[in-house]
Amino acid sequence: MSARTAYLTSDTVYVVGSATAPAHAVSADESNVYSPVVPQVVRLRETADPFLQVLEALGGDAKGRLATVIAPASTLVQAVPHLYRLAHLPLTILVEARDDYADIQALRSTGIAIFQAFSPQEAQDLSLVARSVAVSTRRANIVFFEKQAQESEVTALETDQIERLLGDAVGAREQALDASALYTANESAVDVSSAITTALAEFSKVTGRSYAPLEYTGSQTADSAIVLFGSNAASFRARIAKSFKGDVESAAGVLLVRVYRPFDAAAVQKALPATVKRVAVLEQLRTRTSRWNPLFLDVLQALQARDDVKVVSGQLGINTEETVSQALRGVLHNLRADKPLQNLFVGNPFPETQKESLQTPAIESAYDKILKQVFGDRLDIVNRQEGLAGLSTSPEYALGRALAQQESRAAFVSAASPEGLTSAKDAFHAWQAVAHSKQESACAAAALVEALQADTSDAAKKLLENASLLPLPTPWLVVSDAWAADLGNGGVHHLLASDAKVNMLVIDSNPGSRKKDVGLYAMNFGNAYVASTAVYASYTQVLAAMVEADKFDGPSVVLAYLPYTEDDATPVTVLQETKRAVESGAWPLYRFTPSTDGEAKFELDSERLRRELQDFLKRDQRLSQLARRDPKFAASLASHHGAEVRAQQKRKARSAYDKMLESLSGPPLTILYASDGGNAENLSKRLARRAKARTLKAKVMAMDDYPVEELSNEKNLILVSATAGQGEFPQNGRNFWEAVRSSLDLDLSNTNFSVFAMGDSHYWPRAADKHYYNKPGKDLLARVTALGGKLMVDIGLGDDQDPDGYETGYQAWEPELWKAMGVDKMDVVVDEPKVRGPEDVKVESNFLRGGIVAGLKDESTGAISADDALLTKFHGTYMQDDRDVREQRKADGLEPAYSFMIRARLPAGVATPEQWIAMDEISDTYGNHTFKLTTRQTFQWHGVLKRNLKRTIAAINKALITTIAACGDVNRNVMCSTIPSLSDFHAQVFQTAKGISDHLLPNTSAYHEIWLTDDNGKELVAGGEVKDTEPLYGPTYLPRKFKIAVAVPPTNDVDVYTNDVGFIAIRDDKGALAGFNVSLGGGMGTTHNNKKTYPRLGTVFAFCTPQDVNVVAEAIMICQRDNGDRKDRKHARLKYTVDDFGVPFFREFVEKYIGHALEEPRDFVFDTNVDVFGWQKGEDGRHHFGMFIENGRIEDTPEFQMKTGLREIAKQVKGIEFRLTPNQHLILSNVSEKQLGKAKDLLAKYKLDNLQFTQLRLSSSACVALPTCGLAMAESERYLPVLITKLEETITSAGLEKDSIVMRMTGCPNGCARPWVAEIACVGKAPGTYNLYLGGGHYGQRLNKLYRASLQEGEILDVLTPMIRKWAVERKDGEAFGDFVIRAGYIKETFEGKDFHDGVDLEDETLAA
């Protein structure tokens, strides 16, 4: 409860807790009573000098923000130097006291007020009193409380009570609007005692609960009293209060010290009855540091005027409610004795201090695994060995151990002799020759040990006694805030000064620390190898640094960035923070090797920093050449050119703006927008055009582009905001909102304003989530009103659910705005610009050329134009940006971190080993060192920079793979079932899929001209004289993307029904290929809460022969080309055309096109759509291994060298073939009997043969989503494994490890991972929030349906856990999970796409079907 009070009365709450244990739980469900600022919770590690961080924060950017620190008592002693400075700040520190109160007493001279609470109720109440005192006196204070009493009931303080108690502080804050005044130096005398008395009295008045600094309980005629300072003091008081006349305790009293500092001596005399003659002072101290304890001296001094009172000191041990009576009697008997004992120990002994076992936080294991991977048995982490803890783990101590070990080994190697050996002499000489080689000595030592064990001589036994000294280890010291802190960097200095061959790994887990400066210090020292690394930024760079450090002849320091505040931090959050730090340059990646000849080698590995440095040097070189050519201008050029250019730009911009304003006569109008998808931006610009037509001086810009400090100068202000995520502001309005929300000095009393908000009233259908609808706009309305703004028109609410979407609300709001501004009577004609759409771009592109060539040559940006971004999709690449660092780059004034995703066109997903190796190399040379196996059986790369785009696509083509038509409004990659067991049949259907792919390729030569012609090649002349033709596609290509798959029953691994066109292979009586059933009109993409959009499964409508496959596919595609909706891209897929025109229309068109009638579909059966894992033997005798690739990501990690292993298999296993599956897995195919052993050995070596996964995990798949996909609303690939891990607890306990449930996750509703046919699907709606769909067919034959909307992880688990357990118990034989949830009544069955939304009540909070 004290934590809740801290949250409600602070701007920042600092929680200090061990990195390997959970920190305090701080409630975040209520607002700060001071201001609209949402309190920030900052977690600090005990070992990272937390109070110094607090001091730096309160003296820096956070100055003026009220703060609370929640910390364990163990941190206080080390904080004493900082507490003297913190004492002059209005800071409250909440301390959880343990058995030993010595740490509390150590603070008695810091000038900080100290309160003691004896129960959770008192902890809550006194923390509020302490906050009031801190604000009124501008002095820090501490409230400490007992941990063991935390479970009792507490009467929570209401918010209005807190506001009343802190009314003066709140009022001062709101009136003065400058909280920083609280933090100004105030050295004048402050009567803290009076402030405490006043605060306690006010608290009693408001709550009815009374407290006093010193509180006496007992007889008013007592002869003895006990002053208590320690745990369980309340039990002593309760025992005294319950004593009866005649009891030993009845003539005694207890004085509890609630306010330890300032200690009021006069209050002690006043509190104790005059009859008291003997006083025992009991203090709970594990170890006495002086003869007399601190409180004893305080009480002795307070009672020095009373000569008749004898004061006795005592040491309070551990007491419980059961032992309190006995302890009281013992104290009183001693106190009333003629010669009472001083320092009597009262209670049970203190428990033995447990030696902390050495624990490495799980998140730091990544670097451990890399060290073990690189060095194996040679690795010796000197300060992390069995039995070491405390001092033994410190780098300084461990360095001494390492040096001693090296000296011992050097002496042993020097003294070792083969004399006396019999059979082991040769092995000894072999070892002696390489004894100083780290790599070779390990093998030689192992051989020598084996030889010595066989040698029976005494000399051999003597050498075996020192067997641990035979190999030359690789010593590492690991510095970590979590378990081996080096606060003063003493270990680094000692290592460098020693010049020893010892390596140090410095793990920096605090994003705000300065550990990176250790690298600069080490480089300046000049004798050490230094590297700055980050495993979540560049795994290969970490490996390189470790290897180089080991090879360097001298000390090495490797800095390792691993930002986290809690041990259970997810890899996703660590990855995001790492990318932000590396991208912004806050944590540079580099390697430095000193040299004796002065030519030190420095390699900058940070891509962005290296690029900026190269650009700078290039500019500098150009300026230098210009200066040499014309020396008289050199000085002026160097010192004034940049400043003059900027000044001239500002003058021209201001002049043009002033001229524009002079040409207008109406009042000013400023329109600020926050827009995600562009609707709010376009609407704002339209509003500005209409305002100018009415002679208003209108200007329009994104909210984040507007200087908030100028807001109070605006006369008329319009705020237009869309709604993102969970009621959040769009990206380009978040900084503006944060500034307005937290501002304490904005005065908008002279500003007229209105707000137009845009959202979807059904996007958050649960009653508890309704407030997210148009929340940004409503928040702006409330905040601007609170700042004094005058509302000229009621807020307009645009709702996507209205007939015309947001336009319905806008059309009603805009006329009211003109009326309020007095310009509604004007007759105006606004020339609205024509909106260019994708169809216009395609027509004007000259068959997909557009401005791509020019855009690629533009070095001023990492992006290309919007038109070219659309066109490059047809060439197989999407422009993206890294959303993990988007906000950081925006704050740094940089454009987004643009890069490109490239997707290959790989019919049926079949690749040769040479192609696999090439794809792997491309990912390292041009990409992000990983590549993806997609749900359409092809390769995909991310992180390709624009300057590398042409080289990357050329390299892909060099491997005889293309990227054309892998994306865009064309027929994309054609899929095909993998069926490794049916070798001959697969060859036939594979050729069918490849034939369809080749037949439907675009005909444009633009692809070759742009990507496969070097810079010296022929270029097209201006004017577009060279023209292509597209006989199949025409100049506008298709209305939307077009997908085809070929399935082989009984396996529907391609999810054939989800494709625009599906060909289902039919075998004749002899097992040969007879032809194909044809399905029509499948498709996945939808839009949340837009019932006009829906997924659809293909309709099987005909059978065709193998000879007709290509022309049938062509006919369907041309019918879609000519009849698909080109006006509304959300209605442009073939599935809608089929539903609009009907299946018979398409059949008639196809039959007319091919010149004969189609046959009726033939019988077939599907019974699964998941992959088969492990080894299978084909009918041709060759072997095939189905390998699990989680979500298709091919990468190396410290735990799993998958990428390396697959590369080695491609190099070493002759004749192997790589088949990508539609479920993102991999089949190592066509392994001959001769190569089988080698393949199995390599699989085992790299742990690629591990199939010990639950069927739930094996049947799962996810799209890429964040951070690269621009459409993603939530995590998918990075999160699904985490969610499955948590679900597996239920799966395992229910005995379902071997039972398959098809589970899929996507970051948005576009359906790349085909979620709408999964038995369980989580579809992203906002960060951390998903819609849950149930009831899909186990083999892809049925769509699922929405079961619950807007769920977070805990809710998903709560829903699925009982459902899965019930399935385990109640299912029928062979009943799949998707079938069960329909039969059990959880969800209604979806029969076709058009009833996908039926049976789902979006207004019902439970959304039960």
Q: Which residues are catalytic?
A: 903, 972, 1041, 1043, 1263, 1269, 1308, 1312
Nearest Cα residue to 422 out of 389, 460, 391: 460
Structure tokens at 1018: 């022929």
Question: What radius of gyration do the chain's Cα atoms show?
Answer: 38
In what order do the strands lie in the sheet containing 310-316?
A: 214-218, 252-257, 224-229, 278-283, 310-316, 344-346
Distances (CA, A) of 916 to 291, 301, 1204, 1221, 1229: 78, 85, 12, 15, 13
Strand duo 278-283 + 259-261: pairing:
unpaired
Cα 387 to Cα 356: distance, rounded to the nearest angstrom: 10
Q: Omega into 765 within 30° of 0, i.e. cis?
A: no
Backbone angles phi, psi at 1001, to 5 degrees: -70, 145
CB 546 within 8 A of CB 374: yes
User: Please, what sign has the CA dihedral across residues 594, 597, 598, 603?
Assistant: negative
Structure tokens at 243: 């004593």
User: Please, what sign has the CA dihedral across residues 49, 51, 53, 59?
Assistant: negative
Distances (CA, A) of 175 to 171, 745, 785, 1011, 1107: 6, 10, 17, 65, 84
Location of structure tokens 């508890």: 768
Nearest Cα residue to 100 out of 320, 317, 299: 317
CB 929 within 8 A of CB 538: yes
Cα 236 to Cα 330: distance, rounded to the nearest angstrom: 13
Strand duo 668-674 + 716-721: pairing:
parallel
Cα-based angle 831, 835, 841 (whole degrees, multiple of 5): 140
**Amino acid (1-letter code) at residue 50:** P
Three-class SS state of 993: helix
Sort 1349 into a burial class: Cβ within 10 Å, 0-12 / 13-18 / 19+: buried
Backbone angles phi, psi at 929, to 5 degrees: 70, 10
% helix, strand, coil for the chain, step of 5: 40, 20, 40
Cα 539 to Cα 923: distance, rounded to the nearest angstrom: 13
Cα-based angle 436, 438, 440 (whole degrees, multiple of 5): 90
CB 14 within 8 A of CB 70: yes
Which residues, 6 or more positions from 37, have their beta carbon under 8 angstroms from its beta carbon? 11, 65, 741, 742
Structure tokens at 992: 């069918």
Backbone angles phi, psi at 546, to 5 degrees: -60, -45
Cα 1344 to Cα 1342: distance, rounded to the nearest angstrom: 7
Cα 27 to Cα 12: distance, rounded to the nearest angstrom: 13
Backbone angles phi, psi at 803, to 5 degrees: -55, -40
Cα 174 to Cα 626: distance, rounded to the nearest angstrom: 58
CB 1227 within 8 A of CB 1271: no
